């Protein structure tokens, strides 16, 4: 438990540093999604995803975690369209393609929040071309 907490603090710290570096690049200053988006995403996640991935996003063999170092290794440093398309095209596994783009992006916002990315004043866009231009900052979670 203590180890997990320490890991989390390190994650936040590393994130703060890389995030500051990102600001120098004049990318989104304040966060990639709004708190309202992630709150709506939380409600949809609870109904459509939690049964398999867990309410805490921890997954469970063979279902992957959606908030974890492995998850970040896969999706950070890449365009957010990758995660958006993955969810929109293949999830929920029992009804793929059934989410609207707005719902999909709200779930993405909720997943970003669960991975310690901060909320901001600007909505995460719900179309793939716009999301393609937004790279999820790399944070190392050891
Ligand atoms: C019926 C169980 C089930 C439900 C419901 C479900 N998933 Fe999944 N999900 C899986 C399984 C199994 C995998 C791994 C195999 C695969 O990719 O299809 C997976 C993989 C994923 C991945 C890829 C993770 C990675 O490491 O690359 C994402 C992202 C994801 N799910 C998000 C969601 C979201 C968001 C929802 C709700 C809208 C959802 N899933 C609902 C079973 C489920």
25 C-alpha to ligand 1 centroid (Å): 33
Which tokens hold the place of 42?
């939380």
For domain 2-132, give the fold: Cytochrome Bc1 Complex; Chain D, domain 2 (1.10.760)
Percentages helix, strand, coil for the chain, rounded to the nearest 5? 55, 5, 40
Stated pTM of the model: 0.83
| d(C-alpha 30, C-alpha 32), whole Å | 7
The closest of 66, 77, 82, 81 to 22, measured between CA atoms, is: 77
Atom of ligand 1 nearest to the CA of 103: 38
pLDDT-flagged residues of the chain (< 70): 1-30, 140-142
pLDDT of residue 139: 72
Query: What percent of the chain is predicted at pLDDT more than 90?
Result: 73
Domain regions of the chain by residue span: 2-132
Q: What is the mean pLDDT of the chain?
A: 86
pLDDT of residue 3: 58
The closest of 40, 38, 101, 108 to 71, measured between CA atoms, is: 108
Which tokens hold the place of 20?
């500051």
Q: Tell me the pLDDT tens digit for each residue of 1-27.
A: 555 555 555 555 455 445 444 444 434
Which tokens hold the place of 69?
């170092």
Identify the residue whose C-alpha is closest to ligand 1 atom 42: 93
Name residues contacting ligand 1 (CB within 6 A). Answer: 48-49, 51-53, 63-64, 66, 71, 74, 86-87, 90-94, 99, 107
49 C-alpha to ligand 1 centroid (Å): 7
């Amino acid at each position: 438990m203590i180890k997990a907490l320490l890991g989390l603090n390190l994650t936040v710290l590393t994130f703060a540093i890389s995030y500051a570096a990102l600001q120098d690049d004049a990318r989104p200053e304040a966060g990639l999604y709004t708190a309202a988006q992630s709150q709506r995403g939380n409600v949809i996640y609870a109904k459509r995803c939690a049964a398999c991935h867990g309410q805490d996003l921890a997954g469970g063999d063979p279902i992957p975690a959606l908030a974890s170092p492995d998850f970040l290794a896969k999706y950070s440093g890449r365009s957010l369209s990758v995660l958006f398309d993955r969810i929109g095209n293949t999830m929920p596994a029992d009804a793929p393609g059934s989410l609207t783009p707005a719902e999909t992006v709200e779930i993405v916002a909720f997943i970003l929040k669960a991975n310690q990315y901060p909320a901001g004043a600007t909505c995460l866009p719900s179309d793939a071309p716009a999301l393609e231009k937004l790279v999820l900052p790399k944070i190392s979670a050891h």
